[in-house]
Structure 1
């Protein structure tokens, strides 16, 4: 068992655990339409990481950070983000809405870390350009996803459209989501430059 659970095998174990988890979360979701829409980007990123693994292996820290969003978004797809049983957090902090989705957006920003790692290890740019590119990449993806959510809600309509949009009555939901994405990126970029070399993320 000790030989299996090593740092070298971490990505394989993580991928296997996620694959099983993904399958379980696909059983009897609250809304099959919402589940399909939500897991498309999850499946796409997971498959992309599997395909690129033989050609570029990120650090275990990067894979761990990327996995946070994969797991979180998969849970949201199963329950719908507004319907995830997250009441204990809502009650604990006195929130007026379910912030499970907001944390999910924050975790999207974690992908700035592997982007920065790719640039540093491939020597594609200096620290400033690397940081700005990673940050702006996340901000661009965040904005694009909000547009996709909006269009899906318009085209699909009905309850599925509302659940996928997940605004929960907040007129500033899109802006707050993008801000959460950006904060996640800033947080992990700070971690990358402060601790990344020690964590083996600089090559």
Structure 2
């Protein structure tokens, strides 16, 4: 533990707190397992590789935010997150848009992809970097939608809360589009900061 940065340890504690909270009286434990397990697997990978390949604090912060959003969605189910249910009622929306917000936020994962490419390949910050990272984040988003579809096919109606389509036949397209938009905004807003943090932390 002596080589663990305090900021990283603090983010890890936040994740553990939200994980424990999410499992206590979760709305649907089967849905909770489906929503939370990808995040838990990813976190285990990060823990086992922490000393060998440490990401920047910015990347860990983004991962923390995304994981917490997944834990919240797992606790309530994405279609029943209270704040967004209130927004639905207050503004007379057709659906609870927490899942849309979550997919938009997942676009920020492009910064983690960017870091992995910059540190492990010969690719430099350029237009090609933008194209490659956007292609990867879109591919990940599409794969996730395919996995959701496969789970629904395998387990049937019990996966309804996991899919969170709320009756929208274009839900998968919306999810991928919002991830794409979130990724573009993340590159525009965070790339320079990301470069600065990498230069500072990885010397």
Assess same fold via TM > 0.5: yes
* C-alpha distance in structure 2 between counterparts of 1:182 and 1:55, whole Å: 30
Q: Are the aligned partners of 1:81 and 1:101 in contact in 2 as well (CA < 8 Å)?
A: yes
* C-alpha distance in structure 2 between counterparts of 1:81 and 1:182, whole Å: 20
The alignment yields a C-alpha RMSD, in angstroms, of 1.9
Runs of 4+ in 1 over 4 A off after TM superposition: none
Three-state SS of the structure 1 residue aligned to 2:198 is: coil
CA deviation digits over 1:43-71, x for unaligned, max 9? 01111111221122222111111111100
* C-alpha distance in structure 2 between counterparts of 1:93 and 1:10, whole Å: 38
CA deviation digits over 1:158-195, x for unaligned, max 9? 2x221111100111101000011111211112223333
Structure 2 residue ranges without an equivalent (≥5): none
Bigger helix share: 2
**What are the equivalent positions in structure 2 for 1:12-31 lying under 5 Å apart?**
12-31=9-28
Q: TM-score, normalised by structure 2?
A: 0.88
Aligned length: 195
Q: Are the aligned partners of 1:110 and 1:184 in contact in 2 as well (CA < 8 Å)?
A: yes
Is structure 2 residue 138 aligned with structure 1 residue 139?
yes
Q: Are the aligned partners of 2:107 and 2:182 in contact in 1 as well (CA < 8 Å)?
A: yes
Cα distance, 1:93 vs structure 2: 4.3
Cα distance, 1:109 vs structure 2: 1.3
Give 1:35's aligned residue.
Answer: 32
CA deviation digits over 1:109-157, x for unaligned, max 9? 1111011122224453122332222211111111111111112112211
Q: TM-score, normalised by structure 1?
A: 0.88
Structure 1 residue ranges without an equivalent (≥5): 1-6
